Structure 1
Amino acid sequence: MKLFSSLYSKLSAGLMLLFCLTGLFFIGFTLVSTEMYQNEINQKLNRTLADNIVSEHLLLRDGRINQDSLKDLFHTLMIINPSIELYLINPTGNILAYSAPPGKVRLDRVDLTPVRRWFEEDPSLPVLGEDPRNPGKHKAIAVGRIPKTGPLEGYLYIILASEHYDNSIQKVKASYILRTGIWVILIGILSAITAGFFLFRFLTRRLTRLTHAMDNLDLARPTRQTPSPQGTQKRIKDEIDRLGVTFTRMVDQMIDQMDDIKQADKLRRDLIANVSHDLRTPIATLQGYIETLLLSDDNLLPDERKSYLDTARIQCIRLTKLVRDLFDLARLDSKEATPEFESINLKDLAQDVIMGFKLKAEAEHITLQAAADETLPPVMADIGMIERVLENLIENAIHHTPANGKVTLGMALKDDRVRITVSDTGCGIPKKEIPHLFERFYKVDKSRKSRPGHSGLGLAITKRILDLHQSVIQVDSTVNTGTVFDFSLPVVSTGE
């Protein structure tokens, strides 16, 4: 239904229903409490009525009914106070005589539990007893012991609201209380609807504006909402304000994510361009030398043929390394690679890595050495990944260190971690370039010499591996002095 399609209409309907239910509850409560109050007042006013009657009239004599006295009493009370009914009962509750017309009394006996409560020292009023004329219904009573002193012969059991009085009360309820209550409820509901209309309109106006903003949001080209979340933090008063701030923040996050996607797309295009360039160079070189060998093989001297083949081999090695680095970096970026942690002897691993670069360092006239503490505890890491990190850092250091320079792999215990450093005496890196070192294909061309065989992916791979080990790599460099790469790994705990 369109009538209840908005929050405003649902709130109004809910409030109207609540007022109706509340009004019905109070009408019922008023009826019940009024009747109980009347019974209590009636009993308090007639607390000694039965005792006074018993004192003035001899109703039982030696266990037999005094018919003359009883008849005179019934006649007098029907004239003076027709709202009460009198019953003469024996000690077991059996009805011996009554003032009601013949055929009206439908019970032969009454329950004596209310009678016993009546004679308690301080009974809780109203005390309701069985109405012999209406089985199952209870009314306010007054009871007198016969006789007041001596052996018990019976009770004078008085119903303070007779059938005639009961009917009169119902008529009063129908003509006054109910009619007044219904009018009060109708006026209250009308007033509540009128007040609720303006109140809910006032309370939901911000929600309506927020709904319009959501409906008008262009998901293809979202614009930042005003005011910004930061500007509204001090003015948040309720859930609607918080919802508005959340929506504004969500839109801003969407815009930021779209900017990130655009940036990622730009990086993807740059990556493709860089890969294409780096692949094209060795492939073109390979193609040129192979074609030269095919076309001029008969005219080439053995030394020339060997030179061409060596160049082709170097380009194949360069191409193989580039493809391997690309695959490794893609695997690390896709979260497919997970470290297999184990206890590692860093000194042995460092020695193996240094031996692998020994010949290359000697060919470049660079001193390659390791410096480690005498007692170095094992660390917890993935041995294959950490070996790749050391290889990348040492290769990068050799690549950017001039002849007669020095590359040092240092290891020292610091607290519960082993600090690992790779330092060189190269040309150094300007401070402004350091934050970009771990970006793929990034090269500091003006500050570092460029040599063939360097893919530009080694430091990016190193950063991804150390992120998986929850280790942070730091760089400290001074131009024309050298560079130090620094990271740490946790030592193996005693229980592992």
Structure 2
Amino acid sequence: MVQQPAGIAWWRSLYLRIGVSFVLLVIAIALIQGLLFTARMQRDARDPRRSPHAVAMEAALAAAAAMERSEPFDLRRMQQARFPDWALMDIVMSDGTVQSTSSGSPLPPAVLDYARQMLSPTPPEERVATAVDRPLVTAPIQVDGQLKGVVLLRFPRRSLISEVARFLSISGLLVLAASTALASWIIFTPARRKLSALEAAAERMREGDLKARAPEDGGDEIALVARAFNRMGDQLVERDETLRTVDLMRRQMLADVSHELKTPLTAMRGFIETLQMPQIAADEERRTRYFATLERETRRLERIVADLLDVARLENNAADFELRVFSTRRLFEQVARRNERVAVDNGVAFDIQVADEADQVYADPHRLEQAVDNLVANALRYTPSGGRVSMRADMAGETVALKVVDTGPGIPAEHIGHVFDRFYKADPSRAATREGSGLGLSIVRAIVERHGGTVGVTSEPGNTEFTLLLPAEGTTEA
């Protein structure tokens, strides 16, 4: 039994419809042919010109009547005039004379022997009767109660094709052809229409129209293929959009990287050209200041390159993580000591708050310290003098929440969704005067996501809060 594809009801299967229609067509043709054959046999039985026994008997009566009148009897003329459908008709007389209507098909010896045995006083021998290898109809010719001869009605030998054609008849062949054409039209026209629509959709997609879709009406195999084709089209559209987005991001990143690298390189080139001037060589103070600027721009360039490599390693899971339990408070204190000089210079105070239940966290301490340090450094850049940067840790359900809060001017609402993008600047004019590679928050997000956590930000004037949510169990992505 043919297994139907998943998703198709068996009564909707195209194969089933074709098979059932074929069986019904065969049954219908057989019934029609049976009715036609029965009608033909009944007509032949009622028409003496068509019944073989009636034909043979009529020919025998005609021959007997001619003998009684002592007139010659011409079998061929009688056959052509009255029974043109019966070409093989013979008369064998008791005196041995033989008349035949067909010179091209002479009377076989076995049939002749059988006829002579019938005219003899004794019954035909069995061996003679069995020697006749074709159907034979006989009728006696009797004159004044005496057997004078016998009429033989032979049936011609036909090939298998001739017999089938004779059985089917012209009307049967017409019915067969009409039924086949009608069944083919009913069965295959809807399927052809659906296949044509599917082919047209595939051709349009081949030409680049990814929105081309095939009609999904129906529940047969063609509809299943159409649905699969449409799903493939939807996936191609999604992949095309993804590729376009990735390509746009790649182009944007290349532009941003080029810009970020160009800025310090341009500055470095300008100062180097200035230092090569003769009038500058004698001014030691200016030379010292220019060399300090060159060193600062060189370090900035190094930071950009290092951060780019760091982001690439983190996002491609190429960076190694060493997970262990460590103290959150100690991590905050180390970040505060590292940034203490900048905080003092900017007039910003640190505040550390750690809940007892959140003091121990299972993660990579060096990577997590890097993330918190980036957030604190970012907060120090934008917190005005007299402000505060707070580092807090507490439990939030099944996660540990690490927060960095500052009292800076805040981030405009339209920029909140982009602060973790590479090289994104909420205020480009002001950001140009700040140190940093523009990749710090991207690194923070990559580190937190590698730990299986999430990072978010809320902001309003005077209060900007970055929150790192880490699983309490401490999982990392492979």
Encode CA deviations 1:470-494: one digit per residue, 9 max, x unaligned: 222111101x31210112112248x
CA 1:295–1:213: 2 relative to 1, 3 Å: same
Kindly state the Cα deviation for residue 322 of structure 1 after the two structures are TM-superposed.
Answer: 0.5
Kindly state the Cα deviation for residue 17 of structure 1 after the two structures are TM-superposed.
Answer: 12
Does residue 300 of structure 1 match 2:300? no
8 Å contact kept, 1:224–1:248: no
CA 1:238–1:484: 2 relative to 1, 3 Å: farther
8 Å contact kept, 1:343–1:379: yes
Does residue 212 of structure 1 match 2:200? yes
**Partner residue of 1:441 out of 423, 429, 435:** 423
- What residue is the counterpart of 1:201 in the other structure? 189
- Percent identity, aligned pairs only? 29
Q: Which amino acid in 1 is paired with 2:372?
A: L
8 Å contact kept, 1:427–1:448: no
8 Å contact kept, 1:441–1:455: yes
8 Å contact kept, 1:279–1:319: yes
8 Å contact kept, 1:328–1:461: yes
Partner-residue secondary structure (3-state), 1:310: helix
- Unaligned 5+ residue runs, structure 1? 1-9, 24-178
> In structure 1, how many angstroms separate the alpha carbons of the residues matched to 2:354 and 2:431?
30
TM-score (norm 2): 0.58
8 Å contact kept, 1:345–1:379: yes
- What residue is the counterpart of 1:486 in the other structure? 467
Partner-residue secondary structure (3-state), 1:393: helix
> In structure 2, how many angstroms separate the alpha carbons of the residues matched to 1:13 and 1:419?
64
8 Å contact kept, 2:201–2:213: no
CA 1:192–1:272: 2 relative to 1, 3 Å: same
Kindly state the Cα deviation for residue 444 of structure 1 after the two structures are TM-superposed.
Answer: 0.8
8 Å contact kept, 1:377–1:491: no
Does residue 406 of structure 1 match 2:393? no
8 Å contact kept, 1:222–1:251: no
CA 1:383–1:226: 2 relative to 1, 3 Å: same
**Partner residue of 1:272 out of 224, 231, 254:** 254
> In structure 1, how many angstroms separate the alpha carbons of the residues matched to 2:450 and 2:316?
12
**Partner residue of 2:230 out of 228, 238, 248:** 248
TM-score (norm 1): 0.56
- What residue is the counterpart of 1:51 in the other structure? none
CA 1:285–1:197: 2 relative to 1, 3 Å: same
- What residue is the counterpart of 1:224 in the other structure? 211
- Unaligned 5+ residue runs, structure 2? 1-13, 28-163
- What residue is the counterpart of 2:239 in the other structure? 257
Q: Which amino acid in 1 is paired with 2:465?
A: V
Partner-residue secondary structure (3-state), 2:454: coil
> In structure 1, how many angstroms separate the alpha carbons of the residues matched to 2:294 and 2:388?
30
Kindly state the Cα deviation for residue 424 of structure 1 after the two structures are TM-superposed.
Answer: 0.5
Kindly state the Cα deviation for residue 465 of structure 1 after the two structures are TM-superposed.
Answer: 2.2
Encode CA deviations 1:88-143: one digit per residue, 9 max, x unaligned: xxxxxxxxxxxxxxxxxxxxxxxxxxxxxxxxxxxxxxxxxxxxxxxxxxxxxxxx
Q: How does 1:374-453 map to 2 (within 5 A)?
A: 374-445=356-427, 450-453=432-435
- What residue is the counterpart of 2:308 in the other structure? 326
- What residue is the counterpart of 2:448 in the other structure? 466
**Partner residue of 1:309 out of 254, 270, 291:** 291
> In structure 2, how many angstroms separate the alpha carbons of the residues matched to 1:298 and 1:203?
90
Partner-residue secondary structure (3-state), 2:229: helix
Does residue 361 of structure 1 match 2:348? no
> In structure 2, how many angstroms separate the alpha carbons of the residues matched to 1:398 and 1:458?
13
> In structure 2, how many angstroms separate the alpha carbons of the residues matched to 1:239 and 1:349?
63
CA 1:457–1:239: 2 relative to 1, 3 Å: farther
> In structure 1, how many angstroms separate the alpha carbons of the residues matched to 2:341 and 2:362?
30
CA 1:353–1:327: 2 relative to 1, 3 Å: same
The alignment of Structure 1 onto Structure 2 pairs a total of residues equal to 319
8 Å contact kept, 1:368–1:406: yes
> In structure 1, how many angstroms separate the alpha carbons of the residues matched to 2:223 and 2:251?
42
Kindly state the Cα deviation for residue 12 of structure 1 after the two structures are TM-superposed.
Answer: 11
Kindly state the Cα deviation for residue 317 of structure 1 after the two structures are TM-superposed.
Answer: 1.4
Q: Which amino acid in 1 is paired with 2:323?
A: F
